[in-house]
Amino acid sequence: MGRVLFGVMGDARGHVSEALTIAQEMPKHEFLFVGGGKVHDLKAEGYYVENVPMGSTMYRNNSVDIPSTVTNAAKVFLNPRKVQRRIAGVIAEFDPDLILTDYEYFTPLAARSLGRPCVSLDHQHIMTHCVYEPPAQQRLSRIMTLFSVRLLYSNSSKFIIMSFFPLPTVNSETTLVMPPLIRNGVKILKPEIQDHVLVYQTSPTFHRLLPVLEQLKDQFIIYGLGKRSPRNNLIFKPALKDEFLQDMASCKYVITNGGHNVICEALYLGKPILSFPISKAYEQFLNAYFLDKRGYGAYSTSSSPTRALFDSFESRLSSFRSNIKYENFHGNQEVVGQLEQLMSGKSKV
């Protein structure tokens, strides 16, 4: 049995879900998690969590609220060396065989201060460590996001990128790209196509989506917009994990923002996706762009969607399903195999 110290960004459920999936796929090893926010949910799964400050992304009107996000980050990173020294002490005491970070700021810095390698395990570094032709849109957002990723979150010694759209790496000596992780609750589902559409919103600010959904004939099951009374063909549900997954497995297609994990789970279940990436969140836009480019779905950056958009999307559902059918969206064994090799010193990177 080995020991794994895992720093996890906790401002979104996707990072925490990935971390839990890794731990569950490696049950013979002891895990200690470092993080804040939703990382503390892992305590309920029986894991120990060392709390650290966390920078959160703030939203308003389906867009990143840059002033609020910067203000929050300034507070978190006001005295980083104190937190870094504490985490270095945790590393020294725990003495892990492997140190991982899923977009967590302090863990790789603490590992570096001790001369220990740290492996980045996330999707975000596809923006900085892979080769692709940047889309013409969102140039300012791209510059700002890449600057932030390079400055704050690229202090690891090796990078494993999990993605539904594989890209060549800038440096194959330090970086690998693998298919995404799929959590256990999704793997056991049996997909089918019923009459409803699943809607999932990262932030409850996309209010202009609802009126156009009411113009359509389908039933829409909506998560992420809070608890509300049913409205015509709209049903609002709280974040119930098992029920959410069942609704995803049985839906016609998925409407979501541009979060990587939800996109990957929907694709694994064979579901076409209509993406509305959150404005100024460049990674979400890039996910939506490649979703469209690879023929798995479509996207819109409009804050006022029209019925014509949905009619056009639904006319291509068969084509989307056909493109999704023959792709590999399940990389659990590959990722865990690579981590085991890293622990044994036999890794490619």
Q: What is the DSSP string of 262-312?
A: HHHHHHHTT--EEE-PPBT-HHHHHHHHHHHHTTSEEE---SS--HHHHHH
Q: In what order do the strands lie in the sheet with 196-200?
A: 234-237, 219-223, 196-200, 254-256, 273-275, 297-299
Across the range 311-340, mean pLDDT stands at: 97
* Minimum mean pLDDT range among 58-62, 191-195, 232-236, 342-346: 58-62
Measure the CA–CA gap between 152 and 3, rounded to whole angstroms: 26
One-letter amino acid identity for 31?
F
DSSP 8-state class, residue 130: B
In three-state secondary structure terms, 140 is helix
pLDDT at 345 exceeding the cut of 70: yes
Average pLDDT of the chain? 91
Question: In the prediction, which pLDDT does 53 show?
Answer: 82
Exposure b/e, 43-57, CB count within 10 A at least 16 = b = eeeebebbebbbbbb
Across the range 128-147, mean pLDDT stands at: 92
Q: Where are the alpha helices (DSSP H) in 57-206?
A: 66-76, 80-94, 106-113, 126-129, 139-153, 184-187
Instruction: Determine the distance from the C-alpha atom of residue 77 to the mean position of all C-alpha atoms in its chain, rounded to a whole number.
Output: 23
pLDDT tens digit string along 172-211?
Answer: 999 999 999 999 999 999 999 999 999 999 877 788 899 9
Q: Please, what are the domains in the chain?
A: 3-181+331-344 (3.40.50.2000), 185-325 (3.40.50.2000)
For the entire predicted model, the pTM comes to: 0.90
Question: In the prediction, which pLDDT does 190 show?
Answer: 96
Q: At 110, list the tokens.
A: 């603490």
Instruction: Between 11 and 92, name the one with better pLDDT.
Output: 92
Q: 22: phi > 0 → left, psi -120 to 50 → alpha, else beta; which?
A: alpha
Share of the chain above pLDDT 70, in %: 91
pLDDT at 246 exceeding the cut of 80: yes
